[in-house]
């Protein structure tokens, strides 16, 4: 069965003093999730359990991040986290301290709903 992406949110997180990539990645995911509300679960028969969640996190040192630990922090759906090169490290020229910045994209997919829904007149979202 084909899938459709219904949600994509982006977030940014950082660790200011510890150079902790895991912490920055977790904060980026939390930031993305905090920008979302999904009222379709209240208004349709779609179930959280049927949602596949794909998270892509970018940091300068991907090997410093445990994707399984990040997966455990996701609240809904069948989640998969992958960590890729990205984000930024910004080093203070005086102290030498490095700020770690992570970015995250959180996507949610459901089985195709194409045959389940149609728009007719003013009945937005009516179910066939």
74 C-beta neighbours (distance < 10 Å), count: 17
CA-to-CA distance for 51 and 79, rounded, in angstroms? 8
> Does residue 122 lie in a domain region?
no
What is the DSSP code string of 102-126? EEEEEEEEEE--TTTB--BTTBTT-
- The CATH number of residue 67's host domain is 3.30.1330.20
Q: Give domain status of residue 123, yes or no.
A: no
Is position 118 within any domain?
A: no
pTM here is: 0.81
pLDDT tens track of the chain, all 128 residues? 588 888 899 999 999 999 999 999 999 999 999 877 777 677 777 777 778 999 999 999 999 999 999 999 888 888 999 999 999 999 999 999 999 999 999 998 887 766 666 666 665 555 55
**Does some domain include residue 116?**
no
CA distance 13 to 1: 35
Q: Does residue 120 lie in a domain region?
A: no
Within a domain: 66: yes
Scan for tokens 């829904």, then name that residue.
117
Residue range(s) defining the domain that contains residue 15: 3-111
pLDDT at 76: 82
Number of domains in the chain: 1
The reply to whether 60 falls in a domain is yes
Could you tell me if residue 80 is inside a domain? yes
Q: What angle do CA 110, 85, 94 make, to 5 degrees?
A: 135
E strands present in 32-77: 52-59
- Record the tokens describing residue 31, joined without a space: 């930031």
């Amino acid at each position: 069965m084909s899938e459709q992406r219904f949600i994509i949110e982006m977030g940014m997180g950082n660790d200011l003093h510890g150079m902790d990539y895991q912490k920055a990645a977790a904060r980026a995911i939390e930031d993305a999730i905090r920008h979302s509300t999904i009222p379709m679960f209240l208004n349709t028969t779609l179930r959280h359990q049927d949602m596949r969640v794909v998270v892509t996190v970018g940091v300068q040192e991907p090997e410093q991040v445990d994707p399984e630990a990040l997966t455990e922090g996701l609240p809904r759906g069948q989640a998969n986290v992958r960590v890729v090169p990205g984000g930024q490290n910004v080093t203070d020229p005086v102290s030498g301290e490095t700020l770690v910045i992570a970015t995250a994209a959180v996507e949610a997919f459901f089985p195709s709903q194409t045959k389940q829904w149609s728009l007719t007149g003013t009945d937005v979202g009516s179910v066939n």
